């Protein structure tokens, strides 16, 4: 099957998300079935992420950690797959995690800040809070 896809344009992002984020880094990762990545975030140098799956499928979760937000503590979930070609925007100030549903999955994601491991934090997937 052949296809061509425009992944993102500045105008579309501005219209749908309401901001014109500047991406500084593109990442590609691969994980195997049932890998569960804890909710991760950076307090300093918080990253916005535009995530999509190009092989396989995953169950994604994003949690709003912005204390000044009216939706603080609320979360969203979505299934991303190579088949549906959906994308998820995770704004700065959100924790993000996933579990791989297929035999393996490959992600492509853009970030608005460079990864800074010294500022990385995680929340256990089943944290009651």
Residue 13 lies in a domain: no
CATH number, domain containing residue 94: 2.60.120.10
> Residue 32 domain-assigned?
yes
Is residue 69 included in any domain, yes or no?
yes
> What is the pTM for the complete model shown?
0.84
Q: Is residue 55 part of a domain?
A: yes
Count up the domains in the chain and report the number.
1
Residue 15 counted as domain residue = no
- Which structural domain, as residue segments, surrounds residue 39? 24-123
Q: Which pLDDT does position 22 carry in this prediction?
A: 80
pLDDT in tens, 11-66: 766 676 666 668 889 999 999 999 998 899 988 889 999 999 999 999 999 999 99
Q: Examine residue 101 and state whether it is found in any structural domain, yes or no.
A: yes
- 117: Cβ–Cβ under 8 A, 6 or more apart, which residues? none
Q: Do the beta carbons of residue 57 and residue 93 sit within 8 Å?
A: no
Q: Does residue 9 sit within a domain?
A: no
3 state DSSP class of 15: helix
Q: Residue 1 domain-assigned?
A: no
Q: Just list the catalytic residues.
A: 40, 109
Instruction: Give φ, ψ of 20 to 5 degrees.
Output: -115, 70
Using the structure block, give the residue that is written with the tokens 């950076």. Answer: 42
Q: Are 48 and 112 in contact (CB under 8 A)?
A: yes
């Amino acid at each position: 099957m052949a296809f061509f896809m425009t992944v993102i344009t500045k105008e579309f992002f501005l219209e749908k998300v309401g901001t014109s984020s500047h991406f500084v880094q593109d990442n590609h990762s691969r994980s195997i079935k049932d890998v569960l990545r804890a909710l991760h975030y950076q307090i300093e140098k918080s990253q916005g992420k535009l995530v999509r799956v190009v092989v396989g499928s995953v169950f994604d979760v994003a949690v709003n950690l912005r204390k000044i937000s009216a939706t603080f503590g609320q979360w969203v979930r979505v299934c991303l797959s190579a088949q549906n070609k959906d994308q998820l925007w995770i704004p700065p100030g959100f924790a993000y995690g996933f579990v791989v549903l297929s035999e393996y999955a490959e992600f492509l994601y853009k970030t608005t800040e460079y990864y800074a491991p010294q500022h990385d934090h995680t929340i256990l997937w089943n944290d009651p809070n």
